[in-house]
Amino acid sequence: MIGFTELALDDSEKGTLQYKNLREVLVAGSRAKDLVLQILTFSRQSDREQKPVNVKLIAKEALKMLRASIPSTIEIKQNIQSNAVVMGDSTQIHQVLMNLCANAAHAMDDKGGVLTVDLVDIRLDSEVVSYYPDLKPGAFK
């Protein structure tokens, strides 16, 4: 599927609706590939490779997918400011975000509501980290 989409992209004119839609198919295909790898990894109980990941891009993609799958009575507000890069697995981060947001949406299902997602850098002081022995004071991005 990914290969045929790439071929179709080569034949499409950039900037057209068709080109944009094919890019979305490519992103979805790539995400599906990652999810299959995650399922295989989980079934084998092996560790996935940790690599630098921009959480902002993952959050935006997850919220875009979520919008298509939750009722229109639920408004999604985004406050995505961080450009931080973290060491992690993009598929696992995506799955956690989707699960958290889907659970929140499910809790509002009957009446609707506002689902707010914040992604901001913070600074933890010594008082806050005193509750968490493995953390040190400082900026967290």
pLDDT band for 3, please (50, 70, 90 cuts): confident
- Give the range among 22-36, 95-109, 117-131 with minimum mean pLDDT: 22-36
Mean pLDDT on 50-75:
90
Query: 76 has which bridge partners?
Result: 115
User: 138 and 71 in one domain?
Assistant: yes
In whole angstroms, give the CA distance from residue 103 to residue 55.
Answer: 20
Amino acid identity for residue 56 in this structure? K
> Are 78 and 108 within one domain?
yes
Which tokens sit at 36? 């299959």
Measured distance CA(91)–CA(82) in Å, rounded: 19
> Which pLDDT score, from 0 to 100, does residue 50 have?
84
- pTM here? 0.62
User: Same domain, yes or no, for 42 and 60?
Assistant: no
Q: In the prediction, which pLDDT does 38 show?
A: 65
List the one residue out of 56, 82, 22 whose CA is nearest residue 64.
56
The pLDDT tens digits of the residues spanning 85-100 come to 988 888 888 889 988 9
Task: Give pLDDT, residue 70.
Answer: 86
132 and 79 both lie in a single domain: yes
Greatest CA separation found in the chain? 59
Shared domain check, 69 and 39: no
User: Are 97 and 118 within one domain?
Assistant: yes
Clarify whether residues 22 and 71 are in a common domain: no
Alpha-carbon span 36 to 32, nearest angstrom: 6
- 55 and 90: one domain? yes
Which residues does residue 74 pair with via DSSP β-bridges, in sequence order? Answer: 113
Count the Cβ atoms, other than its own, within 10 Å of residue 32: 12
Average pLDDT over every residue of 113-121:
94
What is the pLDDT averaged over residues 2-13?
Answer: 87
Parent domain of 137 = 49-141
Angle between helices 17-44 and 90-108 (to 10 degrees): 100
Same domain (yes/no): 80, 19 = no
Share of the chain above pLDDT 70, in %: 91
**pLDDT of 24-61, one tens digit each?**
888 888 777 777 776 666 565 555 678 999 999 999 98
User: Does pLDDT of 2 surpass 70?
Assistant: yes
Total number of domains in the chain: 2
Clarify whether residues 85 and 114 are in a common domain: yes
67 and 87 assigned to the same domain: yes
